[in-house]
Amino acid sequence: MAYQVNGQTVEHDEEGYIDDLSDWSPDVADVIAEAEGIDMSDEHWAVIEFLRNYYDEYQIAPAVRVLVRAIKKEMGPEIGNNSHMNRLFPGGPAKQACKIAGLPKPTGCI
């Protein structure tokens, strides 16, 4: 299975997580988000940027609690709360956001 992005083939697994993290780009994120039914906003991109930076540092995706707390600190409580994060990423703030960010499926996600 693969996404087609600007003439490039980006392989992914049966759930849509890309196989090679180095294939990720903002254009790839847009294609994945579209496949997920998400129209990316600045709030979405802030979450994606946080996830990618966190993964670069720790080599693991953060738990939802850590993600929400960090977004609250950076963007305020109106955005950094569970209900708003679930509206941004209805497939789950960790699971769906990690997919769009080009990261592996978070541990513990079914």
> Which residues are identified as catalytic?
109
Half-sphere exposure at residue 72, Cβ-oriented, CA atoms within 13 angstroms:
12
Distance (Å, whole) CA 37 – CA 34:
5
Which residue(s) pair with 11 in the sheet? Answer: 2
92: left (phi over 0), alpha (psi -120 to 50) or beta: left
